Amino acid sequence: MPTVAFYMELVEQAWKLSDDVRELAKTAKSEGREITIQEAFDKVFIPSGLVDMDKTRKNSGNPPKVLLNSPYGLQYRPEYKDWIPFRHGDVKFDD
């Protein structure tokens, strides 16, 4: 079974994607525009190689969610216009 450190690395990957989208939004804002959800997918999520596209298509709702190839994912928060990590699967630690 995986260790706590293994799962922490997966959480960090989710936070990195969140940070990357935040940076993309900052750049867009400096250009006088807002990014779209599709732009976040096209420029950050899909190129990362971390997204489980089948699960995301089947389970994404409103607000949108991105399910990663791990027990974690990101959910869009419209009130903040950001993406926040969440856990969508089980984690099992070594004893």
Q: Which residues contact 80 (CB under 8 A, 6 or more apart)?
A: none
Higher pLDDT, 5 or 46: 46
The answer to whether position 42 is within a domain reads: yes
Q: Is omega for the bond preceding 2 within 30 degrees of 0, making it cis?
A: no
| 69 is a domain residue | yes
pLDDT given at position 95: 57
Residue 17 lies in a domain: yes
Q: Number of folded domains in the chain?
A: 1
**92 within domain boundaries:** no
Residue 21 lies in a domain: yes
**Predicted model pTM:** 0.88
Residue 93 lies in a domain: no
Task: Determine the structural domain holding residue 46 and report its residue range.
Answer: 4-87
pLDDT digits (tens, 9 = 90+) for 47-61: 999 999 999 999 878
